[in-house]
Chains A and B, each alone.
Chain A
Amino acid sequence: MYVYLYDNFLRQKKYDSALKAIETRLTDYEIAGKIIRLQSFSNTKHIIDEEMRRGATTVVIVGNDATFGHVLSRGATCDVTFGFLPMGNGNTIAQVLGIPEGVESCDVLSRRRVVRLDVGWVNNRYFVSQLHVFPHDVSIEYDDSFSVFAVNKKMELVVCNLQPFYFKNKNGTKQAVHPQDGKLEAFIRPLARRGVFKDIYEEPSVFPFEEMVVRGKKPFLVEADGKQSKETKLTIRLAKSRIAMVVGKDRRF
């Protein structure tokens, strides 16, 4: 049985026709199911557990990267297969998973090519897309073997799992994401100086890792899957093959 979790922004009128087309295609494939509309404070784990108790085998997330992160940050512990139908703006994860936007995403869902994905684990919760530590005086220790610090002290840290991270280098824009390589990628950008309009950063450093500890003397701002919090210590680990996900043929891993 399929359950569809719709993001709240899909209530807008402009998505009506696209949603109707998707629902018609899903009915054609005989994989239509219960539709649940998520609110900003919905506990997705509780919803998925409840639907699994009622016999749900596949939970399909309908929305953008933010919806994907919101559902899986808590729902990753549930033993159920996840699907994704990208809708609206801000869909980068769908490209990585090889899922096209619009009605074609239903074709990918119906083919049911299931792959287990690695997810990140930070201070007792999962993150699936990206973790961002805003510029702060932090020290970073990798895999209990080496530590990294910047000359100018302040560093910005981005840990990528599924959401690609773009940065400019000498050759132009470079993109990096490897959801299935058994490691997380950490991008460190030391702050060169504060500009009038925007901060100026040094070239980023890239370190693949399995476990990382970020420490700061003062609380620093962290954003994981769109949710912000202040921490003094972060332990980031890789949870291997945690999520069973329906992916497309054109996935990037």
Chain B
Amino acid sequence: MFPKNQDLSLQSRQVQSQEPDTVETVVGPSVHVEGDFASEGNILVKGTVSGNVTTSRLLTVEDGAKIFANVKAGDAVISGHIKGNIKVSDRLELTESAQVLGDITCKVLVVSPGALIQGKLNMAGISIEGASSEKKRSVRSRLKSTASMEEDDSQQTVE
């Protein structure tokens, strides 16, 4: 009834959906790109990019590839090194060889064992009670306490 080998990885889904003719932006293994690099289509990085990378679709950073700046993408599959913040609007996949030095923002995160991350992780859509309200309460209580302290001070000065 159901297919046995369901490969749900992003790359395989992308390959299935892509036509064989479609061209994506490819940064070859011995090529250096300097400057801000934006594309409307898929980006495949095999070389080195020194500058911000922006795409609304899939960004694939292959093993051995390096990006030294912030990354913004619709989806991303990272197998190489990134030194900078990553902002992915949907799904981020970090494979075994991935190394990230920077903050990550995404909706869905897939981390393979062996992937290295150093930085803050921020995921939208958290619904644990008190996760956001605690902060608000603490801020409110702090404000209240400061206000009451000020009132006490003023009363003392009047006296």
List the B side residues contacting A174 at CB < 8 Å: 20
Residue-wise interface mask of A (139-163) relative to B, using a CB-CB cutoff of 8 A (1 in contact, 0 not): 0000001111111100000000000
List the B side residues contacting A145 at CB < 8 Å: 35-38
User: Which residues A191-227 have CB closer than 8 A to chain B?
Assistant: 192, 202-208
Residue-wise interface mask of B (6-38) relative to A, using a CB-CB cutoff of 8 A (1 in contact, 0 not): 000000000000001111111111111111111
Taken together as a complex, chains A and B put the C-alpha atoms of A165 and B126 apart, in Å, by 48
Asked if A78 is at the interface (CB within 8 A of a chain B CB), the reply is no
Tell me, rounded to whole Å, the shortest Cβ–Cβ distance linking B156 to chain A: 62
List the A side residues contacting B38 at CB < 8 Å: 145
Most chain A beta-carbon neighbours within 10 Å: one of B24, B26, B36: B26
List the A side residues contacting B26 at CB < 8 Å: 203-207
Taken together as a complex, chains A and B put the C-alpha atoms of A246 and B29 apart, in Å, by 40
Please classify the interface of chain B as helix (H, G, I), strand (E, B), loop, or mixed, using the class held by over half of its residues: loop
Number of interface residues of B (CB under 8 A): 24
Tell me, rounded to whole Å, the shortest Cβ–Cβ distance linking A228 to chain B: 26
* CB <8 Å contact, B21 and A150: no
Q: Which of A150, A185, A208 contacts B31 (CB 8 A)?
A: A150
Asked if B46 is at the interface (CB within 8 A of a chain A CB), the reply is yes
Tell me, rounded to whole Å, the shortest Cβ–Cβ distance linking A112 to chain B: 27
* CB <8 Å contact, A208 and B32: no
- Using A205-B47, A208-B39 as known contacts, say yes or no to A146 and B25 having CB atoms under 8 A apart: no
List the B side residues contacting A116 at CB < 8 Å: none
- Using A205-B47, A206-B25, A208-B25 as known contacts, say yes or no to A152 and B30 having CB atoms under 8 A apart: yes
Taken together as a complex, chains A and B put the C-alpha atoms of A178 and B36 apart, in Å, by 24
Q: Which of A146, A150, A202, A252 contacts B35 (CB 8 A)?
A: A146
Tell me, rounded to whole Å, the shortest Cβ–Cβ distance linking A107 to chain B: 25
* CB <8 Å contact, A178 and B30: no
Q: Which of A152, A176, A190 contacts B23 (CB 8 A)?
A: A176
Asked if A188 is at the interface (CB within 8 A of a chain B CB), the reply is yes
Asked if A17 is at the interface (CB within 8 A of a chain B CB), the reply is no
User: Which residues B97-138 have CB closer than 8 A to chain A?
Assistant: none
- Using A145-B37, A205-B47, A208-B41 as known contacts, say yes or no to A150 and B30 having CB atoms under 8 A apart: yes
3 smallest A-B Cβ distances: which pairs?
A146-B35, A205-B28, A176-B23
Known pairs A188-B31, A252-B21 / 14 extra A-B pairs, C-beta < 8 Å: A146-B33, A146-B36, A146-B51, A148-B34, A151-B32, A188-B28, A202-B30, A204-B26, A204-B28, A206-B25, A206-B26, A208-B23, A208-B39, A208-B41
Please list the residues of chain B having a beta carbon within 8 angstroms of any beta carbon in chain A. 20-39, 41, 46-47, 51
Task: List 16 A-B pairs, Cβ < 8 Å.
Answer: A145-B36, A146-B51, A147-B35, A148-B33, A150-B31, A174-B20, A176-B22, A176-B23, A188-B28, A190-B28, A202-B29, A203-B26, A204-B26, A206-B25, A208-B23, A208-B39
